[in-house]
Amino acid sequence: MNTFSSHNARTALLLLALSFSLAVASDPMFSCGPSSASRAYPFCDRSLPAARRAADLVSRLTVAEKVSQLGDEAAGVPRLGVPPYKWWSEGLHGLAFWGHGMRFNGTVSAVTSFPQVLLTTASFDESLWFRIGQAIGREARALYNLGQAEGLTIWSLSVQQGKMTEKDVDKALTNLFAVRMRLGHFDGDPRGNALYGRLGAADVCTADHKNLALEAAQDGIVLLKNDAGILPLDRFAVGSAAVIGHNANDPLVLSGNYFGPACETTTPLEGLQSYVRNVRFLAGCSSAACGYAATGQAAALASSAEYVFLFMGLSQDQEKEGLDRTSLLLPGKQQSLVTAVASAAKRPVVLVLLTGGPVDITFAQSNPKIGAILWAGYPGQAGGLAIARVLFGDHNPSGRLPVTWYTEDFTKVPMTDMRMRADPATGYPGRTYRFYRGKTIYKFGYGLSYSKFSRQLVTGDKNLAPNTSLLAHLSAKTQHAATSYYHVDDIGTVGCEQLKFPAEVEVLNHGPMDGKHSVLMFLRWPNATDGRPVRQLIGFRSQHIKAGEKANVRFHVSPCEHFSRTRADGKKVIDRGSHFLMVGKEELEISFEA
């Protein structure tokens, strides 16, 4: 095989630049259209497998043309009817400005902005995540059909740079073109596609998508504190409200990182104004950095209002890609501002945090003058309305923290020390909910509700245990005198499948409100030694339950996946003996013995 040297690569790129400058005017809009000269080639034959079509196209490209397709801005190949292609873009929580793949200067100038993914994760609702993905996909396809997108893959291939053979390039390009062909990028004008071709401007920012953005924000919001049940509030009992905080009326902070132009936005201030007639607002700080705080003005405003709402937290000036925080505390003078306002208020205040990552708010959790705390992440275009609906009881909060909230002490752990497991001998606390043994503000999965839910592991099912008789032919491998285990590789794929068993959890909503409840099932080992986690999430389900009613939530437990641990040599093993399924404070012992 020919090998590309650095000189040849540079030559190819120079040839590419020349050919691109001469061919831009004649680049086609779509590949394999009815009038395309390449219509008769196999790569335009929709009846063939995508891999075969892609291989045919790659075989017809020159070296320079191949090189031109390896970046995020691929030049067109007019002689084969291939238009330019740009695939670098983001679609994490809505189509975004960043990258070359999307443009918002045409018929469509705005798209649906969903909550930043960490807040959506807090819903623990896979169905919700799927529907958000569908909505983003429809809007991406609509922009593509309108000529405002030059690619359909929001997540794209990465091609290793450096010295390579032409065979390596061909393999990468075949994979790339096969994906594009499966997306219909070589099927002519996309508007001729019966399934997606009619998507256009009317399919962007639809009422369904806006309602979905609101649902996602509501379901992700986490109620962290609610002393004496001060929430939800009665909208007819709140005559006046003071709204204080730099995040109360900033539409930009709703979007988080990698965002696009939103259809419409509702800030927290606007959301509260739709519930309370007499609202007075003071930012208190000019930004999240809060180098200066108008503490005196804020305290005076708080003392004059019936209810006080503080909207504090972070922004993209504090945390984003390429900008890591060095502290878990609220920046600048935010803490002193919150404390002063709470002290001056007539009754306990409500603190709403808009952040991406966790913050150490020990001061607020322990302060009786701060009656309620909510974490709202970066909630997207409908975030302000979602927060207001939760505060006033039109939505029962069901979000649960998808990360551990550490104390400020955790910042003393060197970033260069990425060991997961705790080391008591040196005081190293470990990382993530699975291994961490240090102090926390809130644990992974924490979240309150306006309703009281109880959970019980159902034990009546005779199959609520693995069929361990399947292991009789395997010999237990002894690690030391205290334990023995089975190798997952020895059990095999078929055996692992046969060991699976169902587990049900009965959830009762004692009221007083209807609401969703996320059931998180963990596995606990009898002792967290020899590299075993403290606990391990093995499944989650979100279930809407009316007040006074109950529902059964079913999980499928796989011992090979869920009961196993990884040894230092990378081998997965299942310890003989007891394993404990955990749901809240409920535990059920499962014996794993042949």
Domain count for the chain: 3
348 & 394 share domain: yes
**Among residues 138, 157, 129, which one has the least CA distance to residue 95?**
138
pLDDT score, position 256:
87
Domain co-membership, 340 together with 392: yes
CATH number of the domain residue 463 falls in:
2.60.40.10
Tell whether 385 and 254 lie within a shared domain: yes
Say what the pLDDT of residue 74 is: 86
Q: Is the pLDDT of residue 374 over 90?
A: yes
Min mean pLDDT across 78-87, 129-138, 526-535 is at 526-535
Q: Choose the final residue of a domain: 199, 234, 262.
A: 199
Q: How far apart are CA 346 and CA 341, in angstroms?
A: 10
Computed over every residue of the chain, the mean pLDDT equals 87
Q: In this prediction, what percent of the chain has a pLDDT beyond 90?
A: 59
195 and 320 fall within a common domain: no
| In a shared domain, residues 154 and 223 | no
Are residues 468 and 402 located together in one domain of the fold? no
Based on the domain organization, do 351 and 219 belong to the same domain?
yes
Residues 339 and 473 in one domain: no
pLDDT of 464 reads 62
392 with 269, same domain? yes
287 within a domain of the structure (yes/no): yes
The first and second tokens of residue 246, run together, are: 């730099």
pLDDT digits (tens, 9 = 90+) for 358-373: 999 999 999 999 999 9
Q: Are residues 498 and 551 in the same domain?
A: yes
The confidence score (pLDDT) of residue 365 equals 97
| CATH code, domain with 320 | 3.40.50.1700
Among the residue ranges 135-149, 152-166, 278-292, 320-334, the one predicted with the least confidence is 152-166
Same domain as 569, residue 527 = yes
| Per-residue pLDDT, 589 | 86
Domain presence at residue 108? no
Q: Which two tokens stand for residue 570?
A: 């990378």
pLDDT, average across residues 268-278: 97
Domain-embedded: residue 288 = yes
Is position 67 within any domain?
A: yes
Of the listed ranges 66-80, 398-412, 510-524, the least confidently predicted one is: 66-80
Domain that includes residue 85, residue range: 6-90+147-199
473 and 572 co-located in one domain = yes
Of these ranges, 63-72, 424-433, 463-472, 526-535, the one predicted with the greatest mean pLDDT is 424-433
Residue 85 lies in a domain: yes
- Mean pLDDT over residues 304-330, rounded? 94
Mean pLDDT over residues 471-478, rounded? 64
Domain assignment present for 493? yes
Please write the tens of the pLDDT for every residue from 25-79: 456 778 898 878 788 899 999 999 999 999 999 999 998 888 888 877 888 898 9
Residues 6+ apart with CB under 8 A from 252: 315, 316
Enter the pTM of the model: 0.85
CA atoms within 13 A on the CB side of 582: 16
Cα–Cα distances in Å, from 71 out to 21, 65, 99, 529? 17, 12, 12, 47
